[in-house]
Amino acid sequence: MISASILNGDLAHLAEVAELVRRAGADALHYDVMDGCFVDNLSFGLPVLETLRRCTPMPIDVHLMIAQPHRFAERFVKAGADLLSFHIESDTDPAETLRIIHSLGIPAGIAVSPETPAEAVLPYLPQMQKDDFILVMTVRPGLGGQAFMPETVPKIRTLRRIMTEQQLPLHIEVDGGINAETAAICREAGADYLVAGSYLLGADDPAAAVQSLGKITD
């Protein structure tokens, strides 16, 4: 899956951004939620998601970078999320937050910041369901346009090895500094969900940019 981060789009024309992404051949829209507490930045909330949902048929991949995701999971799903991820470093019980998201009928993701080891998510893998995912942040969460952190690649390899050994039908998503070069590195390491922002939405030819990431068949 290739997901385009709308954080890097023209926020005054999100419907047009969504249509551009759809025509370019991306699979989903990536919607970053920042609360100014968990990360030192603010972004979109529920009303913008509700509006975006009315503007596009594309799946919306919502990434909660907020302090207490369990409090808001249901509201974001009702507002239009098709996938919902939250940070293991947040002030939440990951097992309970997974349970809440599963009860709402959509895939759940656990996000890990660059400093967090792969081992932090291992206790929760048995609870995860088909099409759930681990979101490996390949930049520090909170700001767009950062450079890819190659030191995060071994984490992707470790998670893919464990998922394969345990025959877990889970995905690995990567987010941050993704372009044609870094996408190839992440795919080789085991990622199958790619989030790209400025590389796609700042491209002269977004369709060519999507193709350069390497289309992954789900």
- List the catalytic residues: 32, 175
CB burial of 37-66 (b: ≥16 within 10 Å; e: otherwise) equals ebbeeebbbeebbeebbeebebbbbbbbbb
Contact 56, 15 (CB under 8 A): yes
Distance CA 6, CA 203 (A): 14
Residue tagged 């400093």 (tokens): 115
Return the structure tokens found at 86: 């939250």
